A = this chain, B = another copy of it.
Amino acid sequence: MKVSVLGATGYAGAELLRLLYSHPEAQVVHITSESHTGEKIDSLYPHLSGLYNMQLESMKEIESIGRDSDFVFIGLPHGHAMKVGQELENLPVRIIDLGADYRFDDTEVYEAWYHVPHTHKDAPRVYGLAELYRDKIRDAKIIGNAGCFTTASILALAPLAKEHLIEVNTIIVDAKSGVSGAGRGAKVPNHFPELYDNFRAYNACKHRHTPEIEQAMTDLSGEETIINFTPHLVPMSRGILSTCYATLKPGVTTEMVNEAFDKLYGEEHFIRLRGLGAYPSTKEVRGSNYCDLGWHVDERTKRVIVMSAIDNLVKGAAGQAVQNFNIACGFDEKTGLDMVPMYP
């Protein structure tokens, strides 16, 4: 398959290039960047030296890029993908957007949280969280790849919501991410000396991944859900750990919790059930497409705590995009993604 990457100079774009290099069925034909048009990708990312000898193009020729490609991956800030989606609407090319434009069923929710009008409301799109929405992904024209925090958090909570084991409106997600999640744009708060040996939260109560988790919880549980989501910045490059709290419904036992995880994920390759009492860690999934899950039931407070570890750039972005690509192409889902995490 011929694939192109729009916005190849961001971290998610560069990670896509890493993964696609080893994908036996994909050939990268175009890469774009508006601020670096004409430059070689390895001048911006020397780790690609000798591996990608490609020049960055402008997106202005999007139609011709679309014509050359079976799939277009979009790694642009929100607001841009919906324009691309419209421009490529009548070409056979399919789209996997790593941004937020195509993640919401209800575009009013998007507009309320992203503060821009949605201009492609009737797009033929599906939510790209592979393990939960695989069937819809298969034939989708446009796949709205799930966000990084949301992938970790929804995968952690889905079995409990789906089996109605928790009071969904007690959900609190306390999430922690490495700094690559904030992108490659240099600014003082993410300047090395500011974050090193430092830890803090940001965007409490207003992070845009909140409604994305709520949408999935509502969908899975059948109950209108609102939650608290608090992201934190960990002084490390990669990785997300999501610590998710919820009150168990009366009568729910630890066995029922265990069974819910087994039932939903027992056959999933990329979800590793580390089990009751386990503490997944971000380094144990680093560089891979795995989501590791551990959970704890507190008999005193009747709460369940689920911990979920992913690599934000792989399962939280580029890896899931490739997984969705595999599903959409009918390939084995592991194609190009069957690697061991890099430890230590």
Contact = CB atoms under 8 A, between A and B. Distances in A.
A236 B49 contact: no
A235 B296 contact: no
Interface stretch (A117-125, A216-224, A298-306): A298-306
A188 B197 contact: no
Given A22-B340, A46-B284, A300-B205, A180 B199 contact: no
B187 A186 contact: yes
Interface stretch (A66-74, A99-107, A129-137, A238-246): A238-246
A73 to B, nearest CB: 16
Interface residues of A, number: 83
Interface string A196-240: 111111101100000000000000000000111010101111110
A272 B46 CA distance: 10
Given A274-B46, A305-B228, A343-B47, A239 B199 contact: yes
Nearest to A20: B340
A309 B47 CA distance: 11
A256 to B, nearest CB: 18
B191 A272 contact: no
A339 B22 contact: yes
A142 B169 CA distance: 45
A239 B230 CA distance: 19
B232 A192 contact: no
Interface string A272-297: 10100001111111110000100011
B227 A301 contact: yes
A226 B301 contact: yes
B196 A235 contact: yes
A313 to B, nearest CB: 8
B279 A47 contact: no
Interface of A: 11, 14, 17-18, 21-22, 45-51, 169, 172, 174, 176, 178-180, 184-188, 190-202, 204-205, 226-228, 230, 232, 234-239, 241, 243, 245, 269, 272, 274, 279-287, 292, 296-298, 300-301, 303, 305, 307, 309, 338-344
Given A14-B343, A176-B232, 10 more contacts: A22-B338, A22-B340, A46-B280, A47-B341, A190-B192, A200-B307, A201-B243, A205-B297, A205-B301, A238-B344
6 contacts: A178-B193, A192-B192, A196-B197, A205-B305, A230-B305, A286-B342
